[in-house]
Amino acid sequence: MICSKMNPTRRSVLKGVAGAGLLAATSSRVFAAADASNPILLGIQGDLTGALAHDGLWEARAAKAAAEWHNKRGGIAGRAIKVVAVDTETKTDVGIRRLQQLIQEDRCDFVIGSGSGGIGVASVPIAKDAGVVYMPLSRTDSITTEAANPLLFRFVANSSIAAKASQQWMVDKIGKKWSIVLSDIAFGHSQREAFTAALESVGGHVVQAIALPPNVSDPLPFLLKMDRSVDGILTALWGPDSVRVYPALVTAGVGAKSKFAVSSTTNLFDVLKMGKSVEGLYAFDEVPWELVDYPNAELTKTAFAEIGIGPSGRSLEGDDYVMLPSAIICWEYVSFMKRAIEGSGWTLRNDGLKLSSWVAANPVMPTGELFLRPDLTVRPQDQQAFADSYILQLQNGRMRVVNRIPASETMYPAKVTITR
């Protein structure tokens, strides 16, 4: 691995050069101390306990690491970033309260949102009404369609992006006839709708949908009804269901069929530890897992190291799996704050629209230490970001990139146009 072979002196020199270059490009103040007396308050609406606890802890960790990294480099417009993290307990009513706490009690002007769909959908209008910039981690489509507003910037990919990005590859490389196994919840249904429409647009066909009640103890009886003539099996399952379904597909006799997991579901459980039932599994993902698969590995390493992620996308300490796309996007959200605040001259909460106008004029986020994903662009109409996306495959216990989809090919038509 590149990281381990480098000696510390060379590594820190490279880091310093890259960092200085970047700072020189974005700010005239290089390494001046950030002013902690007038901080920019960043709230993290974290899922620190409950069903999404594992992911939420990595997301909070990444955001805090990013804030600390920027603070060491002069902060944002000379001001330190102060992070306030709260716990939604992965419950919608609690998540709503915590957001209100961040907005009203802690006076946060920026909030990185929960990864839970329900909490995200509930939170968007609350943040909008309060004039607070909301940066969601939930991937529900409606957040950047019906609910889009000038203070909402979404860097995570929703089901429409995942489906559009994957459609051609799925039909060309695997086949036209698909079956989908989904968790019988809103997440699963939105993935089913998006992928069914996407595949049909390129000559594919979803012939069967098996919707499993969430937390079903034994999916095998339902999977036996799988149409065995399909070319591939699409899975849209939340974490605990995935862990049951993949081995059950083997028992059901369809384990040899190509399997494709929709966006980010392979980050919700330790897929690398599941053995032969997931060997060869394809997955759509917003980011590569292995550092070597990043186009700018040298610069990407900064974020990995600061957050505590090793070169194969797992934790540096303890060999834990990481909710990698969300962690990286949290890093990018803080970077986005840096660029947008300094670029637009934002100083206080009421300046929210300045950020939106600036982004509309400067939609491209340059790849480097700040933004790890190539061609990251925030579309002005709905402030949904698009970047190069990936199809990964689990090969011999490692998730490797088998296809890269350019950002332009992931852009579905905007369903709303924000008025500023």
Partner 1 sequence: MDTMPLLIFQCLNGIVWGLIFAMIVLGLSLTFGLMNLMNVAHGSFYMLGAMLTATFASGHGMNFALSVLLSVAIVSALGVVVNRLVLDRLVGSEPLIGLLSTAGLLLLIDSFALAFFGSAAISVEDPISESIEIFGAFYPVYRLVVAGIAIAAIAGLFCFLRFTRQGLWMRAVPESRELSLIAGVSPRRVSQTTVILGSFLAALAGALITPISSAHFQMGLTILGTGFIVVVVGGAKNLMGTVVVAIGLGVIRGIAATFVAPTEAEVISLVALLPLLVIWPNGIFGGRNA
Partner 2 sequence: MRSFGITRHAGSVVGIVMLLGLAAVPFVCGRYTTFITAQMLAFLYIALALELSHTFGRVLSFCIGSFFALGAYSVYYICQKLSSELAVMLMGSLAVTAIAGALTAILVVRMKGAHSAVVGTLAIGAISLLLANSLTDYTGGEDGLTLRHGITLLGWTSEIGVNMATYYLALVPATLYLLAYLLLRPTPFGVVMRAVGENDLRSEQLGFNVEVRRIVIFAVSAAISGFGGAMYCVLIGHISTALFDPMVSLNSVLWATVGGLGSPFGALIGTLVIYPSIELASGAIRYVDALVGALLIGTALLFPRGVMGLIERYAESAAPPQDVHVLEAVDTPILSASTGDSK
Q: Is 118 in the site for partner 1 (CB under 8 A)?
A: no
**Least CB distance to partner 2 at residue 185 (A):** 5
Burial profile 313-329: b = 16 or more Cβ within 10 angstroms, e = fewer: bbeeeeeebbbbbbbbb
> Which of residues 44 and 299 has its CB atom nearest to partner 1 in the complex?
44
In this chain, which of 184, 290, 298, 351 binds partner 2, going by CB under 8 A? 184
Site for partner 2 in 142-181 (CB under 8 A): 142, 147
Site pattern 208..247 for partner 1 (x: CB under 8 A): --xxxx-xxxx-xxx-xx-------------xx-xxx--x
Q: Is 93 in the site for partner 1 (CB under 8 A)?
A: no
Cα 264 to Cα 268: distance, rounded to the nearest angstrom:
7
Cα 364 to Cα 211: distance, rounded to the nearest angstrom:
39
Q: Is 49 in the site for partner 1 (CB under 8 A)?
A: yes
**Least CB distance to partner 2 at residue 198 (A):** 19
**Least CB distance to partner 2 at residue 134 (A):** 13
Given partner 1, partner 2, none, residue 274, with its beta carbon under 5 to 8 Å by kind, binds: partner 1
For 361, other C-beta atoms within 10 Å of its C-beta total 10
Task: Compute the chain's Rg from CA coordinates.
Answer: 21
Given partner 1, partner 2, none, residue 83, with its beta carbon under 5 to 8 Å by kind, binds: none
H or E element: which one contains 391?
Answer: strand 389-395
Residue pair 367/348 in contact by the 8 Å Cβ criterion: no
Site for partner 1 in 284-323 (CB under 8 A): 321
CA 417 to each of CA 141, 281, 323: distance values in angstroms, whole numbers, following the listed order: 15, 37, 31
Q: Is 51 in the site for partner 1 (CB under 8 A)?
A: yes
Tell me the residue type at 387.
A
Q: Is 92 in the site for partner 2 (CB under 8 A)?
A: yes
Cα 28 to Cα 21: distance, rounded to the nearest angstrom:
11
Torsion of CA 327, 331, 336, 338, to 10 degrees: 160
Tell me the residue type at 155.
F
Cα 66 to Cα 64: distance, rounded to the nearest angstrom:
5
User: Judged by CB under 8 A, which stretch of 91-99, 169-177, 264-272, 311-319 contacts partner 2?
Assistant: 91-99
Backbone angles phi, psi at 43, to 5 degrees: -95, 145
Given partner 2, partner 1, none, residue 273, with its beta carbon under 5 to 8 Å by kind, binds: partner 1
Q: Is 218 in the site for partner 2 (CB under 8 A)?
A: no
Given partner 2, partner 1, none, residue 100, with its beta carbon under 5 to 8 Å by kind, binds: partner 2
User: Judged by CB under 8 A, which stretch of 84-92, 164-172, 245-253, 394-402 contacts partner 2?
Assistant: 84-92
In this chain, which of 153, 269, 331, 358 binds partner 1, going by CB under 8 A? 269
Cα 389 to Cα 168: distance, rounded to the nearest angstrom:
13
Residue pair 358/336 in contact by the 8 Å Cβ criterion: no
> Which of residues 129 and 172 has its CB atom nearest to partner 2 in the complex?
129
129 by Cβ neighbours in 10 Å (0-12 / 13-18 / 19+) ranks as exposed
Residues 6+ apart with CB under 8 A from 127: 99, 103, 111, 113, 133, 134, 151, 152
CA 146 to each of CA 152, 382, 414, 417: distance values in angstroms, whole numbers, following the listed order: 12, 10, 11, 10
Site for partner 1 in 124-163 (CB under 8 A): none
Q: Is 100 in the site for partner 2 (CB under 8 A)?
A: yes
Q: Is 140 in the site for partner 2 (CB under 8 A)?
A: yes
> Which of residues 78 and 240 has its CB atom nearest to partner 1 in the complex?
240
**Least CB distance to partner 1 at residue 82 (A):** 27
In this chain, which of 42, 52, 147, 148 binds partner 1, going by CB under 8 A? 52
Q: Which residues bind partner 2 (CB under 8 A)?
A: 48-49, 86-87, 89, 91-94, 96-98, 100-101, 104-105, 116-118, 120-122, 124-126, 129, 140, 142, 147, 184-187, 189-190, 211, 213-214
